A and B are shown apart, each in its own frame.
Chain A
Amino acid sequence: MKKIILMAGLLSLLLVLSACNSKPKLRILNWGEYINDEVVKNFEDEFGIDVVISVADSNELFYSKIKSKTTAFDLVIPSDYMIEKMAEEDMLLTLDYPKLPNYANVTYMDGVEQIFASMTDTTFERTGATIDYKAYAVPYFWGTFGIIYNNRVDGLEEALYTNGWEVYFEADNYFPTARRGMYDVPQFAFAAAMMYMDKNPNDYSLANLDLVRTVLETADFTEWGDDTLKRNVEANNLDMAFTYTGDYLDRLYIQLSEDKTLDEVRDEFDLYIPDTTMVFIDAMVIPNTATNLDAAHQFINYLIKPENAALNAEVVGYAVATEEAFDIIMSYLESEDLEKKNWAVANSIYYNMEVERTYYPLTSLNPTDTDAIGTMVQNVITG
């Protein structure tokens, strides 16, 4: 009997202990491995706050976790179209800019400004309301989408630079035996097909849905996935895949840390960014379920600082949002550290905003349309 009471006592003690913790907590919902642990640790040490990071792997999951309120997150880092959706549904709090002093010392990159403007435009077209998204969000990372291709295939690089999207979608006309991969998010597949047809990827209609279906079917994809796409092109198990630019840089960085040179890696697999492509931005927002507003603002302010943003980018591999942070990375071009130098070179190539391109950020579509696209993609995969 005594043993049972002892055990029960220990158990309740365990439960109680696990529940309480004296340090203030900051609950963040982020993408998997999308933050440099060193940055988190530095923040925790400087501010004495316990940072708890939850992970989800899609914007839709972010949305359902915030909507269902299963956890009171203080800070979330969703993508552009999801920010639009959350703002429309009043799920976000406006930022208290006086609490973000570092903001006065940075300039957003031109592409970032374009994205914010575009988001405001599409929202206006859809709902008639004018929303300045900077009121809700501070950029975290942004980037473009591109086609990772297997440079070990003769002539593929040339074909892509000459004919663009056609090489990727028209499996009958170009490289019929090539193995093509597409991202597992139906809206991305829809957008890619629309851009191939020189249309605005946010222009959803039943007619377009049909056209997209035909395009996707002719592409004859070998694989639908997410993280596996970039790894498979790297490993020579796929020839072309439509992914985030950051995905490519992610693998590039790992290859560089294995003591390969930038040229060696680019000879094996490289990235082609089409003239019309998608952009995205992941930004920090504060949901209306937040309990620790001060800590959330402190964290945002901390990451605005160029040094911290650059440090974060070292591990994550996507593009920094502020010119100051980009300058820090460009300073590594002169660095003795070969790894840093290569990374800087890669950044200057792939995030080169001098090139004339049409960038489309994706907007949020209403649930019925999203569902219809999802069903269409399932039909393509199974049929």
Chain B
Amino acid sequence: MNKEFKVLAKPYMVWLSILVFVPILAMVLISISNLDSSVSVGELVISLNHFKLLLESSTLIAFRNSLIFATATTFLSFVFGYFIAYEIKLSKFKNKFILLTIIILPMWSNLILRTESLANIMSENNILKSILGFNLFGNISGTWMAVLFGLVFTYMPFMILSVYTALEKIDFALEEAALDLGLPPIKKFWKVVFPLSLKGVVTGSIMVFLPTLAGFAIPKILSRGQIVFIGTIIENKFVYTNYNHGALLAVVILFFILGSILLLTKFDKEGETLL
């Protein structure tokens, strides 16, 4: 590629540098000081006062909830998602694009509407009950099962797409060779296919884990306010204009995100195959 085009990248490099680092710096600064719209630069006090928030029992429990649900969601998305991706790969259907479309289509509906509908049919008396006469989901609204169900089926498409992309790239010749050498199909899968698709699994896992960890809309609606996530607390802080505390919690989440990015670089040296 002609070296002349290097200049095209320059604006983007400036853009990324500013928009990635400046907001994060602002956030870190706000989390460790009393910077506020009412405080001028002269009155700035750096203090670790806000860190007391981290020791509140509600904060710790919220963190625990977020981590547990994020892990569980990622695991279930992996199991279900990998299965579907593999089935699509194997399917004799000529047009895989249509199959993928069917998977992505729900994502085009507004997330809040979808979640509210789920909350609706998970309650004891709901619209499906009035049509069908019985309750499809039992009465799980407000419980962890409702939240888990909502989270898994909202974020599974990401996992499916990632895994499918990785699976598609596997040269079929490799599989044929494995079969020729006498491996039964199951072993072929575990020893040849799965390791080659690992990159897709890791990418997909990160794309499920991170939004679940930091999200608040889905848990709030499906748990009827009962199960508190770290995102719920951050949103509360924002609504009650306590930016300092909110920033602090957001910074903590940022550590997780940076950790995940580093993990991703281990699996994908070029950082170019998230999709």
Contacts and interface: CB of A to CB of B under 8 A. Distances in A.
Do A and B touch, yes or no (CB under 8 Å, in the complex)? yes
Q: Ordered nearest first, which 3 A-B pairs have the shortest CB separation?
A: A224-B225, A378-B58, A223-B224
A184 B225 contact: yes
Contacts of B57: 379, 382-383
A183 to B, nearest CB: 10
Interface string A217-248: 00000111100100010011100000000000
B272 to A, nearest CB: 27
Contacts of B238: 64
Given A370-B240, A378-B233, A382-B228, 4 more contacts: A64-B241, A67-B241, A225-B225, A367-B241
A63 B238 CA distance: 11
B242 A371 contact: yes
Nearest to B122: A237
Contacts of A63: 241
Interface of B: 37, 53, 56-59, 61-62, 65, 119, 123-126, 141-142, 224-226, 228, 233, 236, 238-242, 245
Interface in A31-70: 58, 60-61, 63-64, 67-68
B73 to A, nearest CB: 20
A381 B56 contact: no
A335 interface: no
Nearest to A381: B228
Contact of B123 (A237, A371, A378, A381): A237
Contacts of A379: 56-58
A383 B226 contact: no
B123 A235 contact: yes
Interface string A287-304: 000000000000000000
Interface string A127-140: 00000000000000
Nearest to A376: B58
A382 B225 CA distance: 10
Interface string A344-383: 0000000000000000000000010011001100110111
Contacts, number: 72
B112 to A, nearest CB: 12
Q: A-side binding surface: helix, strand, loop or mixed?
A: helix
Contacts of A374: 236, 240
B125 A68 contact: no
Contacts of B241: 60, 63-64, 67, 367
B225 A60 contact: no
B230 to A, nearest CB: 11
A68 B241 CA distance: 10
A374 B62 CA distance: 14
A350 to B, nearest CB: 25
Interface of A: 58, 60-61, 63-64, 67-68, 184, 222-225, 228, 232, 235-237, 367, 370-371, 374-375, 378-379, 381-383
B125 A237 contact: yes
A229 B101 CA distance: 37
Contacts of B245: 371
A220 to B, nearest CB: 11
Contacts of A61: 239
Contact of B226 (A67, A224, A232, A237): A224
16 contacts: A58-B239, A64-B239, A64-B241, A184-B225, A232-B123, A237-B125, A371-B245, A375-B53, A375-B58, A378-B59, A378-B236, A379-B57, A381-B228, A382-B58, A382-B62, A383-B61
Contacts of B56: 375, 378-379
B57, B225, B236, B242 pick with most chain A CB within 10 angstroms: B225
Contact of B224 (A64, A224, A370, A371): A224
B225 A236 contact: no
A383 to B, nearest CB: 6
Given A68-B37, A224-B226, A381-B58, A237 B124 contact: yes
Contacts of B62: 378, 382
A225 B236 CA distance: 13
A222 B226 CA distance: 7
Contacts of A378: 56, 58-59, 62, 228, 233, 236
A361 to B, nearest CB: 20
Nearest to A63: B241
Contacts of B126: 235
Given A222-B142, A232-B123, A378-B233, A371 B240 contact: yes
A67 B238 CA distance: 13
B24 to A, nearest CB: 20
Contacts of A232: 123
A381 to B, nearest CB: 6
A223 B225 contact: yes
Contacts of B59: 378
A383 B53 CA distance: 16
A63 B233 CA distance: 19
A214 B175 CA distance: 64
A105 B228 CA distance: 50
A225 B142 CA distance: 11
B115 to A, nearest CB: 12
Nearest to B232: A378
A235 B238 CA distance: 32
Given A224-B226, A232-B123, A379-B56, A237 B242 contact: no
Contacts of A68: 37
A254 to B, nearest CB: 15
A378 B236 CA distance: 10
Contacts of A224: 224-226
A223 B123 CA distance: 12
A206 to B, nearest CB: 15
A360 to B, nearest CB: 21
Contact of A367 (B37, B119, B141, B242): B242
Contacts of A370: 240
Contacts of B124: 236-237
B224 A222 contact: yes
B20 to A, nearest CB: 23
